[in-house]
Structure 1
Amino acid sequence: MILKDKTQTSSASIKLDAGIKQEHDVAFYLRRAYKNSDQIMVLNDLRIEHDGESAQIDHLIVYTYGFIVVESKSIRGEVNVNEYGEWSRSYKGQWSGMPSPIKQAELQLKLLKQYLCANTEKVIGKFLGIQQGLGARCYDVFCAISSDAIIDRSKAPKDIADKLVKSEFVTDALDTKMNFIKFYQLAAKIADTRPTFNQEELQHLCQFLLGNTLQQESNAVNEMPEVWPAPTNMTAAANASVQQPNQRAAVNKPDMVVAKPLAKAVQHTPISAQCKHCGQCTGLNAQSGRFGYYVQCGSCGGNTPLKRPCPACNSPNTKVSRTKSVYRLVCTDCSMPTTFILNSN
């Protein structure tokens, strides 16, 4: 059951947009697998605050036996995890170190456990007059990596390699970890000593998590990950007409439910142009070419199209217009104009 959907957001940063797309993809797979389940509750974009600290959890699975934190990570290129659990990634042939998303998820899970255990009496009731506890429940983490990444986990410790999955396999890994025993496996049920939540306790626990910390307002998750174009395809998108999301779903995934565009949004704040090659937001010079408007980076010399999804409704059906020195992104679906901030200095 999906108790908190993935928030529909957009960013002025191409790199941040890639992270948002990855979270939407994982939320899509979770929704498809568990939206009709009474034993598995999914909370996306969950914020936890406890003892002066806070954690923003991408995806929290609350199920009959415990809790699983899923950290979404957008990685393009290759990622390597060595025998010490240290992470590195490549971008255009250049390797660099990166923080471990597994360790990040473990820190989030630790704060969640501390928060729940500190509020045990509010979260779960008594059984035969004895207060039940939360410390012995199952607590696990996974990291869902972009499907187009190349992962080398050959030297990674087994406990880390087992927690690292690609987006399309995340529910398979979750099902294995949750290990729901079939009703006819009587011997296995007797041997299973994991304490359980009943359905009422699951609902109450999740409502406690949602109600005791200010959460971001969310809209229904888009059930079609392809609606978010991959960052590396933005140049190709500028070179050809953008295909309608429903047409793309009909060709690639005919069984998918097509999500309708969101309702017309309010006036959106200006967005800053950013070089997709080096991430610079300054020293950008606006140019016009045969495929439309773009900015040229003064630092690395790379070109970045100004065309991108609408920040108000996430529609890819946009066009860039210019009036004197002012550049605007206009959405053909919601008609919302958004001004670009071009920092040429």
Structure 2
Amino acid sequence: MIAKDYAAPPTADRFQRAGNEAEKQMAFYLKRAFGDDPAVHIFHNLRFEDGQDAAQIDHLVLHRSGAIIIESKSVTSSVSINERDEWTRQWNGRWTGMPSPVLQAKRQAEFLRKQLGAHREELLGKALFGLVQKGFQAFVIDVVVAISDQGVIQHRGRLPEVRKADQVVDRVRELMREQAGLSSLTSRDPRSKDWGITLKPEELTRTSAYLRNAHRDQQSSKELERTPTPAHRLAEPLDRQAATEVYTAVGPVVAPRVATPKFAPATPAFTCSKCASERLEVVYGQYGYYFKCLACDGNTRIDLKCSTCSGKLRTRKSQRQFFAECRTCDTSKLYFTNPA
């Protein structure tokens, strides 16, 4: 059954549109396979928040014996995966490195397990004659990466977690059988001593309802850039002030040692120097911080200068947020927040 249907977020970015098409394709395959099965709950575009942390799951398959996270990737050319699980992608005839979507999906699985575990008392019953609270520590959450049907996968070694989109359903069914086997009391799988629980039907229903209610929508990056900071939220620029509050879409973050702001009030819109996409994240490399494009995997220099002294600004990282700091003028301002 479809517990949360697919809905593509509006965007003017052609690379994001391609990503939406890949997710729509995968959603179609999952609906055709499990749409009428009440024992299998399908979710699309799930996003959870935990304080300033968040996780976006493209597709989630939930049943009584486990869950499968499916990460969709739009690939119109080729991806290559070596024996060390390092990913490269072909773009305009060139091969460039890219973050591993398998590791990305595994981080989402860890986030999901943490969220479920925090609500175990309301979602699960008790075991051992009602004396011990059940938990999600042994609940199996597997991951699969879905590559667009038109893409080509080149790899060396085993490739259990990556499939073409039209092959994902078969892999999901395999994983569901394995998860049910681990949960069986007669299982001979050595992993079953650490993994495998079976939710009761009412526990599955409560867990499914919790996931729907815990979902939080997020504005697109363009909408966030165009949303002005409310005037009543701006910190007053007093030199005696020890800190100023910098507001973002996720709430206030206190930045120490801040004097009167010397920057323009509007956050600049950064784009990829290769494809002009705004889907970027800040990463650290051999020569310092730079922008990595999530659309074409291209690299773009971060070259920020102080509007007062024209000096080069230093980047300071705080979790997913990045601040531009001028040591000469003793100023600091949030200039970018990495996507979850």
Alignment of 1:1-345 (within 5 A): 1-127=1-127, 128-129=129-130, 130-153=132-155, 155-156=156-157, 158=158, 161-179=159-177, 190-191=186-187, 194-215=196-217, 279-280=275-276
Query: Partner amino acid for 1:81?
Result: I
- With over 3 angstroms needed to count, the CA separation of the structure-2 counterparts of 1:125 and 1:100, relative to structure 1, is same
Name the CA distance, whole Å, in 1 between partners of 2:277 and 2:50.
Answer: 35
Task: Output the amino acid matched with 1:69.
Answer: I
> Cα deviation per residue 1:162-197 (whole Å; 9 max; x = unaligned)?
100010011100000110799xx9xx8733753211
- CA 1:101–1:281 in structure 2 vs 1: closer, same or farther (change >3 Å)? closer
Deviation, 1:38, is 2.1
* 3-state SS of 1:134 partner: coil
Three-state SS of the structure 1 residue aligned to 2:105 is helix
Question: Identity, % of aligned pairs?
Answer: 33
CA distance in 1, matches of 2:174, 2:88: 27
- Counterpart for residue 336 of structure 1: none
Cα separation, partners in 2 of 1:89 and 1:58, compared to 1, 3 Å: same
Deviations 1:252-282 (A, max 9, x none): xxxxxxxxxxxxxxxxxxxxxx99x953379
* Cα distance between partner residues in 2 of 1:83 and 1:77: 20
Displacement of 1:5: 0.4
Q: Does structure 2 conserve the Cα–Cα contact (< 8 Å) formed by 1:29 and 1:168?
A: yes
> Does the residue aligned with 1:136 lie in a helix, a strand or coil?
coil
**Contact 1:60/1:70 (CA < 8 Å) preserved in 2?**
yes
**Take 1:207 and 1:171, find their aligned partners in 2: how far apart are those partners?**
23
Point out where structure 2 has 5 or more consecutive residues left out of the alignment: 220-270, 279-340
User: What is the deviation of 1:10?
Assistant: 3.6
Judged with a 3 Å threshold, the aligned counterparts in structure 2 of structure 1 residues 54 and 281 are, in CA distance, closer, same or farther, namely: closer
Structure 1's unaligned 5+ residue stretches are 218-273, 283-345
Name the Cα RMSD after superposition: 2.8
Of the structure 1 ranges 141-150 and 173-182, higher mean CA displacement relative to structure 2 is found in: 173-182
Of structures 1 and 2, the one with the larger relative CO (CA 8 A, separation 6+) is 1
Q: SS in structure 1 opposite 2:186?
A: helix
Alpha-carbon distance in 2 for matches of 1:135, 1:16: 35
Structure 1 Cα separation of the partners of residues 16 and 213 of structure 2: 28
Contact 2:60/2:67 (CA < 8 Å) preserved in 1? yes
The CA distance in 2 between the partners of 1:78 and 1:103, in whole Å, is 19
Number of residue pairs matched by the alignment: 217
